[in-house]
Amino acid sequence: MTRALVLGGGGVTGVAWEWGLLAGLTQHGVPLAEADLVVGTSAGSVVGAQLRSGRPVQESYAAQLRPSRSEVAARFGPVAVLRLAWAGARTRDAVRARARIGAMALAARTPSEESRRAVIEARLPVREWPRRRLLVTAVDAHSGEFVVFDADSGVSLVDAVGASCAVPGVWPPVTIGDRRYVDGGMRSPVNADLAGGAQQVVVLAPTTAAFGPMPRLAAQVTALRAQGARVVVVSPDAASRAAIGRNVLDPGRRAGAARAGRAQADVVAGEVAAVWG
């Protein structure tokens, strides 16, 4: 494995921002879609699955500029983040912290799993796992264990992406077999360490916020570099943060976030190209 693309979480606006970056970087001659490995967490799992489907990058970007009939608006602002932080920060044991967040998610009143699954299905142009390597992250809501799904996991792509996007307290945990799963961002908003072994790593991180015993992105990047990898991290600049706004689950901000990501690509293209080769 030589090149890895890591796509972090960040709600529907994170999906849009990542597609803006991917479209802009492609136009600058940096085809991140050619990655040997794609790691997707939460919003990044959606983008990763879409990217691996073979759908043209510019087409996926253009879709973010149009109103969506399938996306459902929800609130996920500072108060919701504080609730998660409080649930997960009362112990230094990362697995226990995630189990507490999972317990909160299991007890929360949310839309039905069926209605949420329909949203996830509408996001995926292809329902089968791609042939090229894709990792999708989630957390077992009961045990707090971190889980990585791939084509060999025996889990459908829709269920894997749905689990990775199951924001605790907002969307229902996803049932797979006799277990239920929540957002992979509850372990790390990016999970860049899963790119270990790659020589070139590009990380698109709509958010790097971490709380309690969560592994920090900076530490993950340091470890990758210690293994000999060249790594570049792109996070929203001031204009992108303004376009994304305070509620990352607001579909009304998709187009603005996508355009901001596309504009930011003009600024970071040289730096990303230097790593990607």
E-assigned strands of 162-229? 174-176, 179-183, 200-204
| Amino acid (one-letter) located at 112 | S
Whole-angstrom Cα distance, residue 257 to residue 240?
Answer: 6
Question: Residues 144, 98: contact at Cβ < 8 Å?
Answer: yes
Closest among 87, 108, 81 to 172, alpha carbons compared: 108
42 is an active site residue: yes
CA dihedral of 155, 157, 196, 25, whole degrees rounded to 10: 180
Please identify which of the residues 140, 159, 183, 193 carries the catalytic annotation: 183
Whole-angstrom Cα distance, residue 100 to residue 89?
Answer: 9
Cβ atoms within 10 Å, residue 43: 31
The residues annotated with a catalytic role in the active site are 42, 183
